[in-house]
Amino acid sequence: MRDTEPQEIITLKQLKDSYDRLFKRAPIQESQEHYRWVLKVLAPEKGRRLVDIACGGGYFLREAETRDVKSFGFDLSTVALGIAKGKACRSPLICGAGEELPFRDNTFDYLTNLGSLEHFLDPKKGLREMARVLKKGGKALVLLPNSYFLMTIWNVLRTGSTGRKTEQEVDRWATKEEWMKLIEDSGLKVQRILKYNYKSSRAPFRYKLVRPFIPLNLSYHLLYVCLKA
């Protein structure tokens, strides 16, 4: 896996503090349209149990509550959970690190982790924990960034730089197959992979033109639909 690692080794407390600062400054979120799409892919049944790992401000949980599932939110940042409390009022919220989930084995029917595993201190351990708390036959959706995103390739071709910018302390990118191997080595079986290419009014015009035609292997993010065997 091609990692963009922090220049210095950071502690869990430092990572938590950095996310508290980020969420105080501005929310980290996608559009509600994006969360509705994820929920449609997940297709949870009424009354089943769902946990959103790294739930942030509770934006996906708010959508999940419309399906009458028993949803739980989990995040490292107490500031993010304070925001989530106002967005997803029916979902219990728990603070902690994704590498050490405080749930019993085989607890949840569904699990989501949307655009955060790449920021874990230990993604492998985080995935093993996700597999542990998911019931046999349970479904997990994991959204991850693609290191060979088409616009990244264009930026390198044009300027020699990826053009990636992040305020997050830990950031990783990998190809479709590299992420899939990491997921399956951790106890989940990938059933299918869907592409996600961000929508933004501020995106370059050339991106807006090519967005509908970007193939899976060159997409911005990849949504891994997984089952626990």
Give the burial string for 205-229 (b: 16+ CB within 10 Å, else e): eebeeebeebeeebbbbbbbbbebe
Domains and CATH numbers, the chain: 3-227 (3.40.50.150)
Alpha-carbon span 83 to 86, nearest angstrom: 6
Q: How many other CB atoms are there within 10 angstroms of residue 82's CB atom?
A: 15
Q: Write down the mean pLDDT value for the chain.
A: 93
pLDDT digits (tens, 9 = 90+) for 207-216: 888 999 999 9
Give the burial string for 65-76 (b: 16+ CB within 10 Å, else e): bebebbbbbbbb
pLDDT digits (tens, 9 = 90+) for 31-64: 999 999 999 999 999 999 999 999 999 999 999 9
The counts of H helices and E strands in the chain are: 8, 9
Q: How many other CB atoms are there within 10 angstroms of residue 93's CB atom?
A: 20
User: Which two three-digit tokens encode residue 21?
Assistant: 């600062």
